[in-house]
Structure 1
């Protein structure tokens, strides 16, 4: 007769082995620290080995290496912080994140404000989502992309439980391979990444497919509506831009000495409300409210979100949101000039609203 299986002993051995394996994997993750949870002032951030900027960028702020930053969505990500650093006389990091909601941007700005001893400048790209009436509702605060609030608070102990998962293990493995010289970093150490296709692969016909895919493949009518659509006084009075209150508070928390540039990025004209439409008038009212906030905090607005030689030209774009690298270089030059009290390129593409003092 065969002896009964020792299930209790087998279970004990299995649990001990599993615990040892978890401990080994956790030690591997903790040693490599792929999200830079332990990074503090004066310490180098870890190489950025994942494309989710929400997880990668907080360590850049905590490193204390940067006194100026770019914020916003992917419409600001092609601005090269190395070029801006040289032109502005600052140490610039690009902290703009793909499809970042106003709330997510606010978390990054607040972290930068808390962790930067003397913030010299912020360049904040404000997209149309800031003008949405429901921009501050709980369901609009996040996107399908994971957001780690534990990397944005000042408690380090609560980071550790969040690290025990397969995604973090994968990123830690990438970091290990990078240290061995087998894998390049995914994003440059100052947050810059050219996420658009190589310029030599640009195809205007394909770009127009993306530009006009929401209008049946036909270029939309972009000329102004004359006369403008009538919008009643009652409807205008009901317009609210609650996310701008967040912007107001964020600027108030920055030192008065911090130079503040608000950038309305140059979307393709087809990605903006048609001039004269009710949507265009709503956007104009939002811009006016933004101007009031800018004036209150001494911020300068550089507005590209209107009809101009840039926004009318299909060949400047990959899709309605994303301009090409030559336009990024143009915007950088404009912002550097404006920051030094000069004028942008004189073709009307950049409208500069100086604060009223």
Structure 2
């Protein structure tokens, strides 16, 4: 025979459960209130710690702060294939205050998200430079992310942002942000976003050692996959939509970065045809207002192994030449600032 618990015991457990749930809800709301006040990644959401910028960290999370910074009127967007373009050099050449928003390991989906975030905070931006590499030639209309990316940080809606604040890593950053902000002179991540990865590559070994030279000299496959997006390239359609939303005052420059010659698709192959069709689609997406800086072709520099770390990552001397072409395209588009150098 089963004996039912007394009514008083049931009431006690019910009261305990209600108090436990209420305590959890209050704790959650208290944390969210603290996170909003602290603004761990300097998104500009309501905050009590009035400290601009973020502590030194990777560009994935620092982009939210840099992309909304009113000190900049122009941006460079892409991944490590445009990362060595120095914003200070473009500013010196054009007079436009540039911020570098490149995030390594990203594709067109993330980069378009970053570009839209920048434009949302700079509706009258003076210039936007986008580096479009082979990742832009995907045939997947979802433009899937290549690696984990904090899209919630750049989200316009509050629901996505609040959900993102509930991550364990963000809880730790809230604590770090408080300690960082309370310092008298805290070390800050580079405001203009420039990150020279050359020392990191050099730490892996001399780029001119025989093994690395041999790896750069490998020929492209004889029968590469021709499925590089077919006749329609989803990224081109998204880029066209972005270009259509730009202010008339915003110059747009699309950069096709260089690739070491020996690793390029051989002429006449399906891969070469697909890559050419992709570049044509992307260039058409920014026409007629946009300018194209194309370093993907067969230039003398693409045959010089001393200008590359690997098949697609070029070194500082080549970055300076690409910068010069970008600056020329911006001047041609009439995008110059008040502190531009005299002709």
Tell me, in whole angstroms, the C-alpha distance in 2 between the residues paired with 1:288 and 1:36: 38
Question: Deviation digits for residues 159-178 of structure 1, max 9, x if unmatched?
Answer: 23422333113333444454
| Structure with larger RCO (C-alpha < 8 A, sep 6+) | 2
The equivalent position to 1:259 in structure 2, one of 251, 270, 274, is 251
Tell me, in whole angstroms, the C-alpha distance in 2 between the residues paired with 1:195 and 1:25: 37
Q: Which residue of 2 aligns with 1:47?
A: 54
Q: How far off its partner does 1:109 sit?
A: 1.6
Q: How far off its partner does 1:243 sit?
A: 1.6
1:331–1:38 distance in 2 versus 1, CA, 3 Å: same
Q: Which residue of 1 aligns with 2:341?
A: none
Q: How far off its partner does 1:75 sit?
A: 0.7
Is residue 2:44 matched to residue 1:38? Answer: yes
- DSSP 3-state at the match of 1:280: helix
Q: Which residue of 1 aligns with 2:174?
A: 172
The equivalent position to 1:242 in structure 2, one of 228, 234, 238, is 234
Is residue 2:207 matched to residue 1:219? Answer: no
Tell me, in whole angstroms, the C-alpha distance in 1 between the residues paired with 2:22 and 2:167: 19
TM-score w.r.t. structure 1 length?
A: 0.73
Q: Which residue of 2 aligns with 1:286?
A: 278
Tell me, in whole angstroms, the C-alpha distance in 2 between the residues paired with 1:317 and 1:167: 36
Q: Which residue of 1 aligns with 2:68?
A: 62
Q: Which residue of 1 aligns with 2:290?
A: 299
How much is the aligned-residue C-alpha RMSD, in angstroms? 3.7
Tell me, in whole angstroms, the C-alpha distance in 1 between the residues paired with 2:180 and 2:105: 28
Is residue 2:147 matched to residue 1:144? Answer: yes
Q: Which residue of 2 aligns with 1:71?
A: 77
The equivalent position to 2:260 in structure 1, one of 251, 268, 272, is 268
Q: Which residue of 1 aligns with 2:3?
A: none
Q: How far off its partner does 1:305 sit?
A: 0.8
Q: How far off its partner does 1:200 sit?
A: 6.7
1:163–1:221 distance in 2 versus 1, CA, 3 Å: closer
Q: Which residue of 2 aligns with 1:129?
A: 135
The equivalent position to 2:332 in structure 1, one of 322, 341, 344, is 341
Q: How far off its partner does 1:17 sit?
A: 8.9
Tell me, in whole angstroms, the C-alpha distance in 2 between the residues paired with 1:326 and 1:236: 31
Task: Report if the CA contact (8 A) 1:210-1:320 is conserved.
Answer: no
Tell me, in whole angstroms, the C-alpha distance in 2 between the residues paired with 1:317 and 1:104: 25
Tell me, in whole angstroms, the C-alpha distance in 2 between the residues paired with 1:245 and 1:199: 35
Tell me, in whole angstroms, the C-alpha distance in 2 between the residues paired with 1:104 and 1:181: 35
Task: Report if the CA contact (8 A) 1:70-1:124 is conserved.
Answer: yes
The equivalent position to 1:332 in structure 2, one of 317, 323, 337, is 323
Q: Which residue of 2 aligns with 1:190?
A: 192
- DSSP 3-state at the match of 1:122: strand
Tell me, in whole angstroms, the C-alpha distance in 2 between the residues paired with 1:176 and 1:323: 39
TM-score w.r.t. structure 2 length?
A: 0.76
Tell me, in whole angstroms, the C-alpha distance in 2 between the residues paired with 1:101 and 1:66: 24
The equivalent position to 2:207 in structure 1, one of 186, 201, 204, is 204
How many residues get paired?
313
- Structure 2: 5+ residue runs without aligned partners? 1-11, 334-343
Task: Report if the CA contact (8 A) 1:79-1:329 is conserved.
Answer: yes
Task: Report if the CA contact (8 A) 2:105-2:147 is conserved.
Answer: no
Tell me, in whole angstroms, the C-alpha distance in 2 between the residues paired with 1:212 and 1:183: 44
